[in-house]
Each structure stands twice: as C-alpha cells, then as structure tokens.
C-alpha cells in the first residue's frame, strides 16, 4: 500500500538562483468504492485510514443508515489504485441497485455525478441533542489542529477534519488531499469507534460548502467549526438542520452563523440527558 507522502527531487528558483533539493509531497491515489460487486464511485484520495473512509463515505452518502448494514469490508491494492470492496445487507443492496448514481470525480469531489437537483438538495433530518461549547473550547481545538496535522506539516497540501472532546482535550484527526474525504474519514472513525457526537464538535480546515454540512448532519454532528468561511447555501442548510455553524475560526476569534444558542460563554461542553 502506498504511503501518504512521497519525497521527490525538485529544482527551486529563489533569491535569484537555482538550487537542487528534495520536497515531501502528498500522495494521491484513485480509490474505488464497490458495493456487492458494482463500482459506485471513484475518488482521488490520500491512501491512509481507508477503512474509516469506506465507512464514513458510505454513511454520509446515505447508502446505509448504520455501519451494521455493511456486512464486510476489504481493502484491495490494484495496479490502477485501491478498491474498497463492501458487501451490504440484502435490503440496502436492493435500494442501492435502484439508485442510479455513478461519479468519477477529481480530488474530494463532493457532488459530482448527482443526477437530479432534488438529490443534490436532499432535506436534512433536524439534529437532536442538547450539546454546547464555550469559546475556550473552540479556541483550544483550533490551536491544537496544526500540531496534529502530521501530513500537512510535511507537505502543506492536505486538509484536516477533527473531532474535539473538551472533557479530556482529546482530538481525533484525519487528513486527506480532499476536504470532503477528510471529513468522511473522520465520520468513519467516529462511527467505527462508537464515539458519541454529543461529546464534542467537529473542526475542519477548509471552507464550508453545502456537502460538508450534509455529511456532518448525516451522522448527527450538531456543531461544526471551520477555519474558513461558509457559503450562503451552507448557512441556509445548517440553519434548517438545526446545526450550529462556526466559521472564520482563527487565533484571534471566530464567527457564529447559525444556532448561536449552543455557544455558551462560561460553560464547558456538556450533554443534558433527556
């Protein structure tokens, strides 16, 4: 299996002269998702945390509603790339066969191949749970991001998606050349490890577009934080889904765009039982 980075020779022009040397760059591999023997999607991705990618993508795309509906998963390295072979239970396999969607997208392509406007703008189930976070929680999560982005430290070319839990200041991090892929990998990690989405919040290093909101909402993440800005459509989607959207989160602060009631000035993140 190829590693997530590769060292290559390069010729640099700086300070008025050429110098030879090396640079660590991010690896990119074609990753095919196959269900019950049929290829559904081909994405360009970082060849790491592929089991998380398989489960996260399958859930956030609505192919299954629970990881239990994936009966088997195998990662195969082929000459042309990597194949994630999954077998779905009979009910989900039948539903997928009736759903015509095939995509071959560039890096982290989020909505390539969607065949209808209705499918692209699918309504989101309102998010449940009474979870909140403080500004201190958000700033600590943003501050910890760069230290844990190991691949990005080497390449300066990949996105990160993380889940921050204030109770123990832990950060679950996944990286990928595609921002959607990084979020899918994080979603897969949370699902595979049975991490409660009410125990923290997600943080992404990219801008927030509609598909990022859709993916986070599909697995029940109620608070999503981004270092960049959201699109107007993403804000509308988050508002309708009951998601708290925090963006432009930098070392000097952040902006809350939807459902600000979850951001509490003097309380650590908590869950109210109901």
> To the nearest whole number, what is the mean pLDDT of the chain?
89
Secondary structure of the chain in the HEC alphabet? Answer: CCCCEEEEEEEEEECCEEEEEEEEEECCEEEEEEECCEEEEEEEECCCCHHHHHHHHHHHCCCCCCHHHEEEEEEEEECCEEEEEEEECHHHHHHHHCCCCCEEEEECCCCCCCCCHHHHCCCCCCCCCCECECHHHHHHHHHHHHHHCHHHHHHCCCEEEEEEECCCCEEEEEEECCHHHHHHHHHHHHHHCCCCCCCCEEEECCCECHHHHHHHHHCCCCEEEECCCECHHHHHHHHHHCCEEEEEEECCEEEEEECHHHECCCCCCCECCC
pLDDT tens digits, residue range 35-72?
999 988 899 999 999 999 999 999 999 999 999 999 99
Q: pLDDT at position 266, please?
A: 67
Q: pLDDT at position 265, please?
A: 83
Q: pLDDT at position 49, please?
A: 98
pLDDT tens digits, residue range 230-242?
999 899 999 999 9
Region 230-256: what's the mean pLDDT?
93
pLDDT category at 185 given cuts 50, 70, 90 is: very high
**Residues with catalytic annotation?**
109
Q: What domains appear along the chain, each with residue ranges and CATH number?
A: 29-120 (3.10.20.10), 135-262 (3.40.140.10)
pLDDT tens digits, residue range 200-231?
999 999 989 999 999 999 999 999 999 999 99
Q: Model-level pTM? A: 0.89
Q: pLDDT at position 206, please?
A: 92
């Amino acid at each position: 299996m190829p590693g997530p980075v590769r060292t290559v020779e390069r010729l640099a022009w700086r300070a008025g002269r050429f110098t030879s040397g090396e640079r660590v760059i991010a690896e990119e591999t074609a990753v095919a998702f196959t269900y019950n023997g049929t290829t559904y999607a081909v994405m360009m991705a970082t060849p790491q945390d592929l089991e998380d990618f398989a489960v996260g993508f399958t859930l956030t795309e609505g192919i299954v509603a629970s990881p239990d509906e994936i009966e088997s998963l195998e990662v195969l390295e082929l000459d042309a790339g990597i194949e994630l072979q999954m077998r779905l239970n009979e009910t989900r396999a039948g539903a997928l066969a009736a759903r015509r969607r095939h995509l071959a997208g560039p890096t982290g392509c989020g909505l390539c191949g969607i065949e209808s406007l209705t499918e692209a703008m699918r309504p989101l189930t309102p998010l449940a749970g009474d979870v909140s976070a403080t500004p201190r929680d958000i700033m600590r999560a943003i501050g910890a991001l760069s230290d844990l982005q190991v691949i990005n430290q080497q390449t300066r070319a990949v996105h990160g998606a993380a889940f921050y839990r204030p109770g123990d200041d832990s950060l679950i991090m996944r990286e990928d050349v595609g921002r959607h892929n990084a979020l899918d990998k994080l979603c897969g990690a949370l699902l595979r490890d049975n991490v409660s989405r009410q125990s923290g919040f997600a943080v992404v290093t990219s801008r927030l577009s509609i598909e990022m909101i859709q993916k986070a909402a599909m697995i029940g993440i109620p608070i999503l934080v981004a270092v960049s800005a959201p699109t107007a459509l993403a804000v509308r989607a988050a508002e309708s889904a009951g998601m708290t959207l925090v963006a432009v989160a930098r070392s000097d602060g952040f902006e809350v765009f939807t459902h600000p009631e979850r951001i509490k000035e003097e309380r650590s993140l908590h869950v109210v039982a109901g």
